Amino acid sequence: MSTRATRLAIAIAVAAASVLLGPSPAAAAGSAGYCPDAAGVTVVVDFKELGGGTVVRCAPGDQATGLAALKAAGFQIAGTLRWGEGFICRIEGKPSASTEKCVDTPPASAYWSYWHAPNGGSWTYSDKGVLNRKPPSGSFEGWSFSLNRNADNAPRPAVAPTRPAPAPRTTAPAPPPRTSAPAPPRPSSAVPPLAPPTAGPPNAPPAAGSTPPAGVTPTPPASATSATPPGSSPVPTIAATAPPLAAAPVTPSIHPTDSYPPIEVTAARDTGGLPLGTLAGLLLLVALAGGGLVAARRRRTAEPDD
C-alpha cells in the first residue's frame, strides 16, 4: 500500500470515529454575546431554514484557526466521515442525522457557508477552509446555513459584524456632606425684666396722711432708733435674741406720725460712771458705818448717868 493510501485510510478512520462518537465538545465554554473588546473573536451562527435563530458568542483570547474559534465560542460541531472536522457538517446537531448522514462532503444545495469580517466591516465569503484561516483578534467569524442556493447567492449571517460600543461609565454623584440639623430653639427661661421704678428718692418715707399697705410696718428714720428722750439717764439694756415669729399682717392702731418710734434695745457698757462693784462696796461701808453709829447710841442710852 502506498503512503498516500495509508494516510487517506488513517484520515477516514479518524473521521469515522468522530462521527460514531457524536459531536465533539467545545474546547472552551466561551461566553454569550459579543466580545467586549478586541481580545477575542466573535462567532455568529445563523441557522436560517433549520430553525434556531441566530446565536452570537465570544471566543476569548487569540484563536489559531476558524475551527478553534468555533469550538472556543462554545458551539458543538461534527465533521464528515471522509474529511473529519476539516469540513463542518453539523453545528449544534443541525441538520439532523436523518437529513444529513455526514459521510462525505454535504451537497452544495444544503451546507454551512463560512464567512468572516472585521469589526465594523461587512461579511465576506471565505474561500479557505476552516483549518486554513487564522481569524484576527477582534474580528468576526460567521456561519450561515445555505439551503437550495449556490455559492453566488449564499445567505450572509443576519447579524451585522459590529461590536457594540461599551456603555459609558456613569459615576454616581458624591453624596452631599453630612451636616447636623440645627437644634430647635429652646424655650427661654429668662425672667422678663421688671418695670423700672418711678422717679423719687430711694426709701422715701410715706407722705403724710397715707396708709401703708396691709402687712407692712413702716420703717422709722435711722436717727430715731438711737435717740434718747431729753432728761432721761441712759439705761443699761441686755441684748436678747428671740425666735422669729410667724409673719402675720400687722395693722397699725394709730397713724405712724402720731406715735413714738420703737426704741432699739441694744447691749451697752456704761463707761462714764463708777463701776457697779464699786458702788456696792461703798453702800456696804455706809451700811456698816450706820450700824456702828446705831449700836454706839444704844450703848450710851443703856449706861446709867453718873
Q: Which CATH number belongs to the domain containing residue 16 in this structure?
A: 2.170.130.30
- The answer to whether residue 128 sits within a structural domain is yes
| Helices marked H in 130-243 | 222-226
What pLDDT, on the 0 to 100 scale, is given for residue 163?
95
Question: pLDDT averaged over the chain?
Answer: 73
Q: How far is CA 121 from the centre of its chain?
A: 52
What pLDDT, on the 0 to 100 scale, is given for residue 104?
93
What pLDDT, on the 0 to 100 scale, is given for residue 222?
45
- The answer to whether residue 196 sits within a structural domain is no
- The answer to whether residue 247 sits within a structural domain is no
What pLDDT, on the 0 to 100 scale, is given for residue 167?
73
Q: What is the pLDDT of residues 135-185, one digit of tens each?
A: 999 999 999 999 998 878 899 999 999 999 877 777 776 677 776 666 666
Looking at per-residue pLDDT, the higher value among 94 and 230 belongs to: 94
Residues 6 or more apart whose Cβ sits within 8 Å of residue 267: 236, 237, 238, 239
* Nearest Cα to Cα of residue 122 among 44, 48, 60: 44
| Amino acid at the residue 140 | F
The three cell numbers locating residue 256 = 405712724
* Euclidean distance between CA atoms 21 and 149, whole angstroms: 31
Total count of domains within the chain: 1
Q: What is the pLDDT of residues 232-275, one digit of tens each?
A: 444 444 444 445 545 555 444 444 444 445 545 444 444 455 56
Looking at per-residue pLDDT, the higher value among 217 and 277 belongs to: 277
- The answer to whether residue 239 sits within a structural domain is no
Looking at per-residue pLDDT, the higher value among 8 and 136 belongs to: 136
Residues 6 or more apart whose Cβ sits within 8 Å of residue 106: 80, 87, 89, 100, 112
Instruction: Report whether 116 contacts 124 (CB < 8 A).
Output: yes
* Euclidean distance between CA atoms 73 and 65, whole angstroms: 12
Percent of the chain whose pLDDT exceeds 70: 55
Note down the domain range covering 121: 3-147
What pLDDT, on the 0 to 100 scale, is given for residue 60?
96
- The answer to whether residue 117 sits within a structural domain is yes
pTM, entire model: 0.49
* Mean pLDDT calculated for residue range 56-83: 96
* Euclidean distance between CA atoms 160 and 34, whole angstroms: 11
What pLDDT, on the 0 to 100 scale, is given for residue 56?
98
Q: What is the pLDDT of residues 184-242, one digit of tens each?
A: 666 655 555 566 555 555 454 555 555 555 555 555 544 444 444 455 444 444 444 44
What pLDDT, on the 0 to 100 scale, is given for residue 228?
47
- The answer to whether residue 259 sits within a structural domain is no
* 77-78 and 140-147 strand pairing: unpaired
Instruction: Report whether 55 contacts 73 (CB < 8 A).
Output: no
- The answer to whether residue 252 sits within a structural domain is no
Instruction: Report whether 54 contacts 158 (CB < 8 A).
Output: yes
- The answer to whether residue 258 sits within a structural domain is no
Q: To which residue does cell 444529513 refer?
A: 100
